Amino acid sequence: MTGKALIVVDVQNDFCEGGALAVTGGATVATDVNDLFGQGYAAIVATRDHHVDPGPHFSDHPDFVDTWPPHCRAGTPGAQFHPALETAPLQEVFSKGEYSAAYSGFEGVSARGESLAGWLRRHGIDAVDVVGIATDHCVRATALDAATEGFRTRVLLPFTAGVSPVTVEAALAELDAAGVELVGQVGDRD
């Protein structure tokens, strides 16, 4: 049995407007992703940054490449899913980055310690659609790892928000080169 899963990446308060690492359009993504929940996916899962002590990932003088201001600290409002995102359809949540930097949802684990790849395979998934925040960071990393793990992978660009046009363009080129199908345009939800 095969099926397609929706992976909702890091739609958290700290990545939406007003958060510690706000991405323009994040709150819109939080609302719009809900429209995908009734689209016949065999599974719907989410990833989240869930930092306890990620070491040098946090910096008082971040370079915004390898180091970042503190964000998505476990147990804080910033780590919670954005209130506009409906969480009832989520079958599992994979937390990443507790004690180190983590960008890909495939670095995360469920509350029971199961990996995303293992969970998807156990549920008969062979293809994934990836959406969320940020196009040029965690969405990119999650989609690349999905393809590396052997899943047919698409990124639904209208349901993503990116940090900057330059890094989004580079991420899209990297995804395309890795065989990830890019559907639509970033920010085009009409």
Is the alpha carbon torsion for 109, 115, 121, 122 positive or negative?
negative
Residue partners of 155: CB distance under 8 A and separation at least 6: 129, 130, 131, 135, 139, 143, 175, 180, 181, 182, 183
Three-state helix/strand/coil letters over 9-76 = ECCEHHHCCCCCCCCCCHHHHHHHHHHHCCCCCCEEEEEEECECCCHHHECCCCCCCCCECCCCECCC
Residue 135 identity = T
- DSSP symbol at 168: H
d(CA 159, CA 186): 7
Residue 185: count other Cβ atoms within 10 Å of its Cβ: 12
Catalytically active residues are 10, 96, 138
